[in-house]
Amino acid sequence: MKPVSETPTEPEDYAAISLAFGSLLAGLAISARSREPLGRAELVPLSAATFALSRLIVHDKVETWLREPFVIEEGGDKRPRGRRLRYAVGELMSCTRCMGAWSALALVGLRLHAPRAGRTVTTVLATSAGNDALQAGFSWLTARANEQAAAAEEREQAVSRPEEAPRRAA
């Protein structure tokens, strides 16, 4: 991210975002005092759900409508739209790590204030994150298997027809 001096924003724009986040966090902390605390076992599913939700908001096509007022998307490239607070929100909505903090706040708040709904949403999003991990692993394994198959085919051709084998630079 660029420094404030290189963006069409002012420090007050980021202060407004920080104030909003801090106020929501303080409100959640105060309202959570009388509620059952979250268990340690919930941290991993909440983390996975936070990852999935922030990725969904920042990257998925289905959430373009949410980003559109704040982010210009052209050919896979994203950049903040407008000036001042609009631009700062666009930066936030273009960053999965940044959006992760807000996603975590929302998911923990939901979990504390509507436990059943919070567990359901967390389970769906955490399962989605697990699916993402499995898809990435499968893609990696498939690419690796294809590379090995191509290398084996190249070696086989070199052995069966040495005159047609590609020459390698020494």
Residue 76 confidence (pLDDT): 81
> What's the rounded Cα separation, in Å, for the pair 129 and 133?
6
63 within 8 A of 56, measured Cβ to Cβ? yes
> What's the rounded Cα separation, in Å, for the pair 89 and 69?
10
Residue 155 confidence (pLDDT): 87
Per-residue burial over 127-156, b = 16 or more CB atoms within 10 Å of its CB, e = otherwise = ebbeeeeeeeeeeeeeeeeeeeeeeeeeee
* CB count in 10 Å sphere of residue 164: 8
Residue 166 confidence (pLDDT): 62
Per-residue tokens: 55: 């990725």
Q: Identify residue 36 by its one-letter amino acid code.
A: E
Where do the domains of the chain lie? Answer: 4-160
> What's the rounded Cα separation, in Å, for the pair 103 and 105?
5
What global pTM score does this model have? 0.80
Q: pLDDT by residue for the chain (170 residues), tens digit each?
A: 778 888 999 999 999 999 999 999 999 999 999 888 899 999 999 999 999 999 999 999 999 999 999 999 998 899 999 999 999 999 999 999 999 999 999 999 999 999 999 999 999 999 999 999 999 999 999 999 999 999 988 888 888 876 665 665 55
Residue 110 confidence (pLDDT): 96
76: left (phi over 0), alpha (psi -120 to 50) or beta: left
